[in-house]
Structure 1
Amino acid sequence: MNRDKYEETAAHLDRYADVPDEVLAEVVTRDGLCFWAFDRSEIPELSGMDTPDRELAARMCAGCPVIDECLELELRSAGEDTVGVWGALPDTDRRRVYRAWRERRMRLEGGEQG
C-alpha cells in the first residue's frame, strides 16, 4: 500500500466518526466472520512480511460484512499498538492507516473539512 491508499482508507472511515465505540463493538462481535466462522486457534499468524501478510488478511476477511466497522474499532481501541488482522489489514498497514486516520479525526474534531 502507498501513502495515498492509507489516506483513502482513513477517509473512507469518516462515516463512522460519530458512531459510539460500544455500537461498533456490538456490530463487529455479532457480525464479524472471525468471531463465529473460524476456530480462533486455527487462524494463521502473520509472517511479518508485507505482501504475504496482506494476502493472508484479505483471505481471512473475505466476505466479512463488517470490515470497515472492524477497522474503525481497532484504530480507536489499539491505535499504534495494533496487532494481528483487523479490518482486512495486517498490523503494519493498520499502523500506517492509523496515522492518516488520526490526522483526519483531529481535523474533523477541530471543525475543518477533510
Structure 2
Amino acid sequence: MTEHDYQRMTARLDRFAAVPDDVLADAVARDGLWLRTFDKSDVPELTGDASPDRELAARLCAGCPVIDECLELDLRAAGPETVGVWGALPDTDRRALYPVWLRRRGGESR
C-alpha cells in the first residue's frame, strides 16, 4: 500500500472523529460479521507477509457493514500495538496506517 492509499483511508474515517468509542464498539459488536460468522478455531493465522495477509483480511471482512467503524475503533484503541484483523486490514497495514491517521487527527491520540 502507498501513502496515497493510507491518506484516502484516513479521509474516509473522518466522519467518525466525533463518534464516542462506546458507540463505535456497540456498532461493531452488534453489526460486525466477524463476531457471528466465523468459528475462530477455523480461521487461518496471519503469516506476516503483506499480500497473503491482505487477502485473508479482505476475505474475512467481505460484506461486513461496519468495516470503517471497526478500523476506526482499532486505531483508537490499539494504535501501533494492533494485532489481528480489524477493518479488513491486517495488523501490518494498520501499523503503517496509524501515524497517517494520527497526523490527520492533529496528533492527538484517543
TM-score, normalized by length of structure 1? 0.91
In structure 2, the residue matched to 1:82 is: 82
Q: What amino acid is aligned across from residue 26 of structure 2 in structure 1?
A: E
In structure 2, the residue matched to 1:71 is: 71
TM-score, normalized by length of structure 2? 0.94
Moved over 6 A (4+): none
In structure 1, the residue matched to 2:47 is: 47
Q: Distance in 2 between matches of 1:98 and 1:11?
A: 13
Q: Distance in 1 between matches of 2:42 and 2:84?
A: 14
- Any conservation in 2 of the 1:34–1:40 contact (CA below 8 Å)? no
Q: Indicate the structure (1 or 2) with the bigger Cα radius of gyration.
A: 1
- 1:63-104 CA-partner distances (Å, limit 9, x unpaired): 000000000000000000000100000001001111100000
> What's the CA shift for 1:7?
1.1
In structure 2, the residue matched to 1:20 is: 20
Q: What amino acid is aligned across from residue 17 of structure 1 in structure 2?
A: A
What's the C-alpha RMSD, in Å, of the aligned pairs?
1.1
Give the fraction of aligned pairs with identical amino acids, expressed as a percent: 64
Q: What amino acid is aligned across from residue 18 of structure 2 in structure 1?
A: D
38-47 vs 12-21, greater mean Cα deviation? 38-47
> What's the CA shift for 1:41?
2.0
In structure 2, the residue matched to 1:4 is: 4
- 1:10-29 CA-partner distances (Å, limit 9, x unpaired): 11100000000000000001
Question: How many pairs does the alignment contain?
Answer: 108
Q: Distance in 2 between matches of 1:44 and 1:87?
A: 17
